[in-house]
Amino acid sequence: MPLPWIVGGIAVAGGLAALYSWLSDDDDKNTDQNTTRKPTKDTLLLLGETAAGKDTLIHILAGKVFANDYTATATHDRTGVHINNLLVHNTSGSTMEAVLRSKEELKDELQRYKDKVFLAYVFNADEYKTNKKIHYGIGNCINETKGRGFKRCLAIGTRGDKILAGEKTKIENEIRQRGLECSIFDMTKSPKNEIKDFIQKVVKQ
């Protein structure tokens, strides 16, 4: 397991450091419809390991077709997209400035916005069996949701085209047994509507 960031006594792992950084910035020029980083509406924050497919997910939800390569989140032309009244935002391109802030400031920030925040752990389903970081990341997402009082967490798998149907079902059920909804998608089919339906179903629970 990679060493977590330690912030004034808070251990931050599995992408949560990026969440704190996201909350620290006042605006986001890469998100559509001039939204701000401070959650004024329900917000789904995408977490996950590097190259898990978060950029691809945002790209498809924005109505674009699948492409084999994307630039890094920090320079990508879009980091957020709206699904009706829900903002879906990729936090991974954020700076780490917020990680240097005090424990109390972080706690106050998270407490203020927790009733508007959902977390989604995005993972490469083709690496589920072999990449321990995925299992730690899912656990961290669950723990942070419960510990911080966020509304809910879910798991979105990518590279569904790389695994057999039976394996896909097995992975989804295993993650559901850990307490969060999960669905794995074949991104090469640009499944915008299927992803939107899954996210909206979980958010409305």
Please tell me the predicted confidence (pLDDT) of residue 108.
Answer: 64
- CB contact set of 24 (below 8 Å; sequence gap of 6+): 97, 98, 101, 109
Q: Please indicate, yes or no, if residue 25 is contained in any of the structural domains.
A: yes
Residue 14 has pLDDT above 50, yes or no: no
Q: Please indicate, yes or no, if residue 6 is contained in any of the structural domains.
A: no
Residue 39 has pLDDT above 50, yes or no: yes
Supply φ then ψ for residue 157, to 5 degrees.
Answer: -95, 140
Q: Please indicate, yes or no, if residue 10 is contained in any of the structural domains.
A: no
Domain residue limits at 194: 15-203
The pTM assigned to this predicted structure is 0.75
**Residue 85 amino acid letter:** N
Please tell me the predicted confidence (pLDDT) of residue 164.
Answer: 97
Domain CATH number, residue 51: 3.40.50.300
- CB contact set of 108 (below 8 Å; sequence gap of 6+): none
Please tell me the predicted confidence (pLDDT) of residue 9.
Answer: 34
Overall number of domains in the chain: 1
Please tell me the predicted confidence (pLDDT) of residue 159.
Answer: 96
Which runs of consecutive H residues, i.e. helices, occur in the chain?
Answer: 16-24, 54-61, 103-113, 132-148, 165-177, 192-203
Q: Please indicate, yes or no, if residue 146 is contained in any of the structural domains.
A: yes
Q: Please indicate, yes or no, if residue 51 is contained in any of the structural domains.
A: yes
The better pLDDT of the pair 14, 17 is held by 17
Q: Please indicate, yes or no, if residue 7 is contained in any of the structural domains.
A: no
pLDDT, tens digit (0-9, with 9 covering 90-100), for 24-35: 554 444 445 444
Sheet-wide strand order for 181-184: 80-83, 86-90, 43-47, 117-124, 152-158, 181-184
| Residue count of the chain | 205
Q: Please indicate, yes or no, if residue 138 is contained in any of the structural domains.
A: yes
pLDDT, tens digit (0-9, with 9 covering 90-100), for 71-110: 544 444 457 888 888 889 887 644 334 333 444 555 566 6
Residue in 70, 50, 51 with CA at minimum distance from that of residue 60: 70
